[in-house]
Amino acid sequence: MESRGKNQGGRKIRVITLKAVAEHVGLTPGTVSAVLNNSAAARSVPERTKKRVLAAARELNYRPNYLARSLRVQRTYTIGVITRDLGDAYAAIIISGIERYLRQHSFFFLTVAHHNDKKLLDSYSHILLQRGVEGLISVDTLLGESMSLPTIAIAGHRPLEGVTNILLDHRRAAQLALQHLYELGHREIAFMKGPHYSSDSTDRWKAILHVAQELGIAVRPELTIHLEGDLSTPEVAYPATKAFLCNRKMPFSALFAFNDNSALGAISAFQEAGLHVPNAISVVGFDDIKMAPYSNPPLTTVRQPLLKMGEIAARSVLNQIKNNEDYVAEILIEPEFVVRKSTGKASMQLLPCDKEVQNAN
């Protein structure tokens, strides 16, 4: 049986070749290659023979030489993933979904994080193209232009020719959250508006305004917290909520946060001020990150199926690459609503700083 050897750390490692697998099963290397690569030629190979080939590859611990394969067929089997921040819980779950699907289909991916730096985004996009990626997936990133290869944008929100946008139904998400609060008796609700750089901010805010109007809930400037900064941790919402508590002009009984991280930061600020969640203030988040069920209290939130969104993006880009499928402009994802212990019936009790505000008036 033919094999090659290579040195690694002073040890000689035996490498099983494709030819060795072919000799083991008594077939031509071309037939074995077709089966292992699941190419069109494999359709003419009997199912029984395919199983023999796959069993032999496992038995011999055969590992394909992807570099040689790429050079031979002029393919890299690599996808570029562009995201804002690798440490963001939202992006991390989506990328897990991307990785899981690509791994199952023998594709790799290269990930870059642009940190809201447009020059870095442009630079990284071109670097990925130079590295020969066969497709691109962007996460929470506003792409500036159409690319020259299959591209999927998760929460991109900007129509671009040739780019498939995977979008959450934000109107339905706002309906689920605000209807829940409305049924609990909440009428004076505070809202968090996301920063301009988040691709979800504009669409989510428009949806909130539309649904609030339908329900007869006033969205008051005095009860709106404008967030700026890195939303990947609760640290931004915490000081913003503390300042809001003592600067507002009216009481409120609930907060609809921009995302789960900002909800967790707000809950910390409320609790530090002596406000019980949900007895004094109900809080609703957005995303359903892994921390949401384990916060104190467990967070009621709009769930985005983030893992599924990553898998859909990976499947869509591979379908365009491997099957020459035409791109679709938009794939709409349905949200779910998860009720936990951070929401309860409305209670318009006196809140910290109310006395100071009343005395000032």
pLDDT of residue 182: 98
The rounded distance, in Å, linking the Cα atoms of 116 and 187 is 36
**In CATH, what number does 170-303+339-360 get?**
3.40.50.2300
* Per-residue model confidence (pLDDT) at position 348: 63
pTM here is 0.74
Instruction: Outline where DSSP puts E strands in 21-143.
Output: 78-83, 108-113, 135-139
- At 350 the pLDDT is 47
Domain 3-64 of CATH type 1.10.8.100: no
CA dihedral 287, 290, 295, 298 (to 10 degrees): 60
Q: Where in the chain is the domain with CATH 1.10.260.40?
A: 3-64
H or E stretch covering 138: strand 135-139
DSSP code for 170: H
pLDDT at site 351: 53
Helices (H) and strands (E) in the chain, counts: 12, 14
Confidence at residue 26, expressed as pLDDT on a 0 to 100 scale:
93
Give span(s): CATH 3.40.50.2300, the chain: 78-168+306-334, 170-303+339-360
pLDDT at 189: 97
> At residue 293, what is the residue type?
P
The tens-digit pLDDT sequence of the chain (361 residues) is 455 544 444 444 456 888 889 999 999 988 988 888 777 777 889 999 999 999 998 888 887 665 556 555 567 889 999 998 888 888 999 999 999 999 999 899 999 999 888 888 888 888 888 888 999 999 988 887 777 789 999 987 778 888 999 999 999 999 999 999 999 999 999 999 998 877 788 999 999 999 999 999 999 999 999 998 766 678 889 999 999 998 877 899 999 999 999 999 999 999 999 999 999 999 999 999 999 999 999 999 999 999 999 999 999 999 999 888 888 999 999 999 999 999 999 986 545 565 443 443 3
Task: Kindly indicate whether the domain formed by 78-168+306-334 is annotated with CATH number 3.40.50.2300.
Answer: yes
- Residue 69: the pLDDT is 60
Give residue-wise pLDDT tens across range 154-193: 987 778 888 999 999 999 999 999 999 999 999 999 999 9
Residue 296 is predicted with a pLDDT of 95
Give the separation between CA 246 and CA 273, rounded to whole angstroms: 10
